[in-house]
Amino acid sequence: MDDSLKRDAARALAQRAAREHRLWVRPAGGIGEHVRPPQPATRRPRDERPDPAGAVERPRAAPAGGAAGLREREGDTPAGGDTGESFPRGAPEPEYGIPIAGQLEDPFPAYTDIAAFERAICNCRKCPLGQTRQKFVFGVGDPHADLVLIGEAPGAEEDRLGEPFVGRAGKLLDQILAAVDLKRGEGVYICNILKCRPPQNRDPLPSEVSECEPHLVKQLQLLEPKLIVALGRVAAQVLLRTSDSLSRMRGKLHDYRGVPLMVTYHPAALLRNPQWKRPTWEDVQMMKKTLDDARGG
Ligand code: SF4
């Protein structure tokens, strides 16, 4: 590559980084100033296509033989981490028909401290993902957090580093939080439903969710958050036991075992679909207001 091509490539990269950064700096005169215009229509992941009026989304069939193929998932960390890498679509999605256990049930009554609980389960092999993971990814943040953000499962970078939401999507999440004066680790806790990475970032299987969700339930019982935010369609569908699309779930408060829960896009999805940054900003403002109200502020 000659010098002029290198300069052009560097300039393009810098412009893109500046655009992404600009959106999450709190706008002085309204978010519209910082939202990029809608991008030319490309095929969206199926879960983010607009709901036809009155349409009811039918539950999808569970994958045959327990093998969920690869596809580009809304809100997920793509294969190879949150690098924007795409992967084949079209595989059936798991159906999350897991019964909700009693609200007060404590799946691990022996533990009253979140660090001790992490140590107790960090070698878990209750499902096959325990054999294929590199690192167990428990969660990170303030053990007294009022706000808990929950994704679906670790991606490649998370699996490598043992921490949720790292890489580009994690940086964007930090920018989103900073836009409303929140910070990872300060009143905020971040984790996933599954603590181990599904191979090639496929969707979690119902059997994996069934085995791993008690860990999340215990985490939440120890954290006692005032608000939960589900990041991405799959996390929201699992937590709410629904097959609704993300657009139907966002914009309102739900209930997860007695804790208010709201739904928004996964930051990895925003990296690939900047047109979703505007609705995400609306969700983030709602998140902040709900949190402030819950804190009595
Ligand atoms: S995904 Fe959850 S249940 Fe499966 S091995 Fe990892 S920690 Fe255990």
pLDDT of 184-227, one tens digit each? 999 999 999 999 999 998 999 999 999 999 999 999 999 999 99
Separation of first and last alpha carbons in the chain:
56
Q: Considering the domain boundaries, does residue 96 fall inside one?
A: no
**pLDDT in the model for residue 15:** 60
100 or 40, greater pLDDT: 100
Does 130 reside within a domain?
yes
Q: What is the mean pLDDT of residues 36-46?
A: 37
Structure tokens at 134: 């590199």
pLDDT score of 122 more than 60: yes
Residue 97 Cα, ligand 1 centroid: separation in angstroms?
18
Answer yes or no: is 159 within a domain: yes
Most distant CA pair in the chain, distance: 65
CATH number for the domain harbouring residue 209: 3.40.470.10
Specify if 69 maps to a domain: no
The 10s digit of each residue's pLDDT in 236-254 is: 999 999 999 999 999 999 9
Is 62 or 140 the better-scoring residue by pLDDT?
A: 140
Query: Whole-angstrom Cα distance, residue 189 to residue 259?
Result: 15
Range of the domain at 222: 112-297
The percent of residues in the chain predicted with pLDDT above 70, rounded, is 65
Q: Measured between alpha carbons, how far is 208 from 210 in angstroms, rounded to an integer?
A: 5
Residue whose CA is at the smallest distance from ligand 1 atom 2: 212
DSSP alpha helices (H): ranges in 114-245?
Answer: 114-121, 129-132, 156-161, 167-179, 206-223, 233-240
Q: What Cα–Cα distance (Å) separates residue 170 from each residue in 66, 85, 154, 215, 285?
A: 30, 15, 11, 22, 19
pLDDT band at 10 (very low <50, low <70, confident <90, very high): low
Give the predicted TM-score (pTM) of the model.
0.73
Residue 147 domain-assigned (yes or no): yes
Query: Ligand 1, residues 131, 132, 133, 208: which to mutate, most atoms within 8 A of Cβ?
Result: 208
CA 24/CA 247 separation, integer angstroms: 21
| Domain contains 177 | yes
Ligand 1 test: best mutation among 211, 213, 217, 238, most atoms within 8 Å of CB? 211
Q: Could you tell me which of 153, 137, 246, 131 has the C-alpha nearest to residue 205?
A: 153
Q: How many domains does the chain have?
A: 1
* 96/224: higher pLDDT: 224
Span 74-88, mean pLDDT? 35
Ligand 1 atom index nearest CA of 153: 1
Does the residue 205 lie in any domain? yes
Say how far residue 189 (Cα) sits from the centre of its chain: 12
Q: Tens digit of pLDDT for each residue in 220-237?
A: 999 999 999 999 999 999
Q: Tell me, in angstroms, the distance from the centre of ligand 1 to residue 282's CA.
A: 34
The alpha carbon of 276 and the centre of ligand 1 are apart by a number of angstroms equal to 31
151 lies in some domain? yes
